Amino acid sequence: MASKDSTQKQFFGITDNVPEEAWYWLAIGSILLSAGFKISKKDNWALFVGQWPPTFIVFALYHRLLRPSSK
């Protein structure tokens, strides 16, 4: 079983490879997808997908605040 530090290093290794702008585009895309689901009367899917943007924005802020040298 992997240790907590090893798992955390793997997680940050993966997220560090994603550019900051990609997280913002994912947030915008999920908002549009949620709106599309709402328009097509799929309210449960709209609510589910509508929860994603804050997570994507937090990842982008992580890159901006904790990894300023990557820009």
Sequence ranges of the domains in the chain: 19-70
pLDDT for 45 = 98
pLDDT for 17 = 82
Residue with tokens 């993966």: 14
pTM (global) more than 0.85:
no
pLDDT for 41 = 97
Residue with tokens 């799929």: 42
pLDDT above 70: residue 1? no
| Mutual angle of helices 52-66 and 43-50, in 10-degree steps | 10
Span 41-67, mean pLDDT? 91
In tens, the pLDDT along 9-53 reads 887 777 778 888 899 999 999 999 999 999 999 999 999 999 999
